[in-house]
């Protein structure tokens, strides 16, 4: 929903390293320093909920999931203090194409920062910054590897992104 301007406690991540890299160099005009964040979701749940696992949010798997995650969706008052990683239902082609996972952000606004500080020696979240001069080359290499707008956005928006990228390569050099 955040892509459409709706406020949400969900932050989307990906299980694909190259997909994450694509999103970091995707809109180079709108970022100062492209970065990729790497997170171990099992570590995060272990420090937040004492369970070393990742929750599923798919109602079709209710027998197999820890039902505590459902209360986070249903009642904001039951949110944990810190972010909790969740595997989503595959209800949208983008979720599948982007290998999406989410974190539901809790009551603490700076939850990741607080946890990293609190668990400094064992924290499994890291920010990898990319040299701005290399970002365009990385973007070109990702296209060669098949990581493009249309593979990650399997709709007209993705196709338009590929056409725009091809145009920029041909006419802006």
Helices (H), 26-66: 41-49
**Is pLDDT of 29 > 60?**
yes
DSSP label at residue 9 = S
> Between 170 and 141, whose confidence is greater?
141
**Is pLDDT of 105 > 60?**
yes
> Between 133 and 77, whose confidence is greater?
133
Q: Which residues of 127-144 are buried (b: 16+ CB within 10 A; e: fewer)?
A: eeebeeeebeebbeebbe
Sign of CA dihedral 44, 22, 110, 101: negative
Q: What is the pLDDT of residue 92?
A: 86
This prediction's pTM = 0.81
Q: What is the pLDDT of residue 91?
A: 81
Q: What is the pLDDT of residue 116?
A: 86
Sign of CA dihedral 109, 110, 112, 115: negative
Q: What is the pLDDT of residue 96?
A: 92
């Amino acid at each position: 929903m955040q892509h459409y301007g709706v406020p949400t406690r969900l932050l989307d991540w990906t299980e694909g390293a190259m997909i994450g890299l694509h999103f970091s160099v995707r809109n180079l005009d709108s970022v100062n320093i492209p970065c990729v964040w790497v997170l171990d979701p099992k570590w995060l749940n272990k420090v937040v909920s004492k369970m070393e696992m990742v929750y599923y949010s798919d109602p079709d798997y209710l027998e197999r999931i820890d039902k505590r995650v459902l209360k986070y969706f249903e009642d904001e008052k039951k949110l944990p203090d810190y972010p909790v990683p969740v595997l989503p239902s595959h209800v949208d082609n983008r979720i599948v194409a982007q290998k999406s996972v989410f974190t539901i952000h809790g009551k603490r606004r700076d939850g990741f920062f607080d946890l990293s500080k609190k668990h400094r020696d064992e924290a499994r979240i890291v920010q990898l910054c990319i040299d701005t001069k290399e970002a365009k080359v990385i973007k070109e290499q990702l296209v060669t590897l098949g990581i493009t707008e249309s593979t990650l956005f399997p709709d007209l928006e993705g196709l338009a992104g590929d056409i725009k990228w091809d145009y920029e390569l041909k006419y802006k050099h």
